[in-house]
Structure 1
Amino acid sequence: MADFSSALSLSASGMSAQAQRLRHVSENIANADTPGYHRKTATFEEVVSAGQHTGQVALGQVNLDRTALTRIYDPGHPLADEGGYYDGSNVDLVVEIADAREAQRSYEANLRMFDQARQMSSALLDLLRR
């Protein structure tokens, strides 16, 4: 039963990490038109407990993408400089949608693994009761 428990915790940690990743992707999409906004990127880290590798993952440090911001020409904008330009964001909606789709599919794969482990442990308990 310990193997089933570890399988459940592994897939649950994956679902949690992907859900947090999806939250950052949605923040990027929501701020795509915010002047001066830098895209957030997240990394994954392996969870270590008492010096032992657990196999679980967690969302690591969230970093700001330091690629150049797009320069937008709009002389009427309140943030425009004397040349009529202001800094937009560095969010690319195509990249964000691809990241969101990848996070969603990874979440679904972890969910299927969680459900499979739950079904197998339930079937084992049914066999042991007989």
Structure 2
Amino acid sequence: MTDFSDAISVSSSGMKAQASRLRHLSENIANADTPGYRRKTVAFQDVLGRVETGRVSLDQTNLSRIFEPSHPLADEAGFYDGSNVNLLVEIADAREAQRSYEANLKMFDQVRQMSQSLMELLRN
């Protein structure tokens, strides 16, 4: 029975990690137009066979320079720092995280069904 609980634990840790990743991706998408916003990235790590999220870090790539002299944050030359969020990358990452979450959910469900089938066999 411990193999079933281990498999459920691994798949649920994967779902938690992907849910955290999706939360940070949605924050990035929501702040794509926020001046000075740096994209958040999250790393995964293996802790005793389970997936956990590591530290959230800020992407240090250059911020986009936007020319808009009338903007309140514009410097003397009319530029201000935008964000370094690329919506295409964020949406692709979100799709990958969603599919990974669904794969973990499917594994969770398969293990649960196998466990139920085993219990039914043992009862008979």
What TM-score do you get using the length of structure 2 for normalisation?
0.99
Which letter does structure 2 place at the counterpart of 1:44? F
In the alignment, does 2:60 pair up with 1:71? Answer: no
- Deviation of 1:55 after TM superposition, in Å, equals 1.1
Deviation readout 1:22-59 (Å, 9 max, x if unpaired): 00000000000000000001100111xxxxxx310111
Residue aligned with 1:60, SS: strand
Instruction: Kindly report which structure 2 residues correspond to 1:1-130, keeping only aligned pairs within 5 A, or say none.
Output: 1-47=1-47, 54-130=48-124
3-state secondary structure, aligned to 1:99: helix
Contiguous gaps of at least 5 residues in structure 2:
none
Q: What amino acid does structure 1 have at the position aligned with 2:62?
A: A
User: For residues 84-121 of structure 1, what are the alpha-carbon distances to aligned partners after superposition, in whole Å with 9 as ceiling and x for unaligned?
Assistant: 00000000000000000000000000000000000000
One-letter code of the match for 2:88? V
Q: Distance in 1 between matches of 2:112 and 2:58?
A: 38
Could you tell me which runs of 5 or more consecutive residues in structure 1 were left unpaired when the two chains were aligned.
48-53
Q: Tell me which amino acid in the other structure corresponds to 1:5.
A: S
**RMSD, aligned α-carbons:** 0.4
Moved over 6 A (4+): none
If the length of structure 1 is used for normalisation, what is the TM-score?
A: 0.95
